[in-house]
Amino acid sequence: MGAGKTTIGRLISQSMGKEFYDLDKVIEDNAGADIPWIFEREGEDGFRKRETQALASIAESDTGDCVLATGGGIVMREENRDILRENALVVYLYASVAQQLYRTSKSTHRPLLQTGDPRATLKKLFEVRDPLYREVATLVIETDSRHPRSVANKVLDAIKRHLKMEITVS
């Protein structure tokens, strides 16, 4: 959460000439409602089911060759991790808890942070999610104190290096 997935994803898709999808936006469009409303009505479990359906749909469709920004909790379901591992080059945009807190402090669109102690919530989420992201990540890129364009360039360079290595090994 707050790592810059949407902003950096858009920059990468523009540079690569690929379609860009924000999975949260896809979920909202499919539901005809925003994420806070989905959380309020269906709870986190209902949202996660919708998230898995949207991810599987994109992975199975013709739009599969795209840049996709997922929600921060996508890795919480094993099924999602399997879909990501099998269908994607996964870039984990690593952001420290302090950086996440700074970047999300003014947002009212993040249901999991509508608590009395967002820092404690982010810390707890990070402790659970970080190892799961590392489990599925093809590449890990640190985003702290970096401008989005700088992070996007770093991601693009890492992808190019990774693909060259993949071609050489094949």
Residue 15, domain extent: 5-154
Instruction: Specify the pLDDT at position 121.
Output: 84
- Going by their DSSP bridges, the two strands 91-94 and 67-69 should be labelled as unpaired
Residue 36 has pLDDT above 80, yes or no: yes
Residue-wise pLDDT for 129-142, tens only, equals 999 999 999 999 99
Residue 161 domain-assigned (yes or no) = no
Length of the chain in residues, anyone? 170
Pair 47, 95: CB distance under 8 Å? no
> Encoding tokens for residue 9?
């994803």
Q: Is residue 143 part of a domain?
A: yes
Query: Which residues are documented as binding site for ATP?
Result: 2-7, 110, 146
Task: Over range 43-68, report the average pLDDT.
Answer: 91
Does 164 fall in a domain? no
For range 143-170, the mean pLDDT? 86
In-domain check, residue 115: yes
Residue 168 lies in a domain: no
More confident residue, 170 or 123: 123
Find all residues with CB under 8 Å of 21, minimum gap 6, and list them. 58, 63, 66, 67, 68, 69
| Whole-number Å distance between alpha carbons of 140 and 152 | 12
What are 63-104's pLDDT values in tens digits? 668 999 998 889 999 999 999 999 999 999 999 888 888 777
Instruction: Please report which residue ranges of the chain form alpha helices under DSSP H.
Output: 5-16, 23-31, 35-60, 78-87, 97-104, 118-136, 148-169
User: Is residue 26 very low, low, confident or very high in pLDDT (cuts 50, 70, 90)?
Assistant: very high
Residue 85 lies in a domain: yes
**CATH code, domain carrying 128:** 3.40.50.300
Q: Is 4 exposed, middle or buried (0-12, 13-18, 19+ CB in 10 A)?
A: buried
Res 98: pLDDT: 85
CA 161, 60, 36, 79 dihedral sign is negative
Residues at the annotated binding site for substrate?
24, 48, 72, 129
How many domains is the chain partitioned into structurally? 1
Annotated binding site for Mg(2+): 6
In a domain, 58, yes or no: yes
User: What's this model's pTM, rounded to 2 decimal places?
Assistant: 0.86
Residues in binding site:
2-7, 24, 48, 72, 110, 129, 146
Residue 111 has pLDDT above 60, yes or no: no
For the cut 70, the answer to whether the pLDDT of residue 31 exceeds it is: yes
Is residue 160 one of the residues assigned to a domain? no
CB burial string 31-65: b at 16+ within 10 A, e below: beeebeebbeeeeeeebbebbbebbeebbeeeeee
Query: In angstroms, rounded to a whole number, what is the distance separating the alpha carbons of residues 42 and 30?
Result: 15
State residue 65's pLDDT score: 85
